[in-house]
Amino acid sequence: MNKVLVVGSLNMDFAVYMERRPQAGETVMAQGMKLVPGGKGANQAYALGKLGADTSMIGAVGTDTFGEQMLANLENVGVATDGIKKIAGTETGKAFIEIEKSGQNSISVIAGANAAVDEALVQEQEDKFAQADAVVMQLEIPMPSVVAAAKLAKKHVKTVVLDPAPARKDLPDELWAQVDITKPNETELALLTGLPTNTEEEVVTAAKSLVAKGVKNVLVTLGGDGTMRVSADKVEKFPAYKVKAVDTTAAGDCFLAAFMSRFDGSNYAEAIDFGAKASAIAVTRQGAQTSIPTVQEVESFN
Q: According to the annotation, is 225 in a ligand binding site?
A: yes
Sort 158 into a burial class: Cβ within 10 Å, 0-12 / 13-18 / 19+: buried
- Residue 273 falls in the annotated catalytic set: no
b/e burial code for range 125-143 (CB count within 10 A of at least 16 → b) = beebbeebbbbbbbbbbbe
Active-site residue (options: 82, 253, 264, 273):
253
Domains within the chain, CATH numbers bracketed: 3-9+40-59+117-300 (3.40.1190.20)
Per-residue pLDDT tens over the stretch 205-248: 999 999 999 999 999 999 889 999 999 999 999 999 999 998 88
Report d(CA 217, CA 234) in Å as an integer.
9
Residue 264 labeled ligand binder: no
| CB atoms closer than 10 angstroms to residue 147 | 18
Task: For residue range 43-65, list pLDDT tens digits in order.
Answer: 999 999 999 999 999 999 999 99
pLDDT tens, position by position, for the chain (302 residues)? 679 999 999 999 998 999 999 989 999 999 999 998 999 999 999 999 999 999 999 999 999 999 999 999 999 999 999 999 999 999 999 999 898 988 888 888 899 999 999 999 999 999 999 999 999 999 999 999 999 999 999 999 999 999 999 999 889 999 999 999 999 999 999 999 999 999 999 999 999 999 999 999 999 999 889 999 999 999 999 999 999 998 888 899 999 999 999 999 999 999 999 999 999 999 999 888 989 999 999 999 97
- CA dist 221 and 189 (Å) reads 10
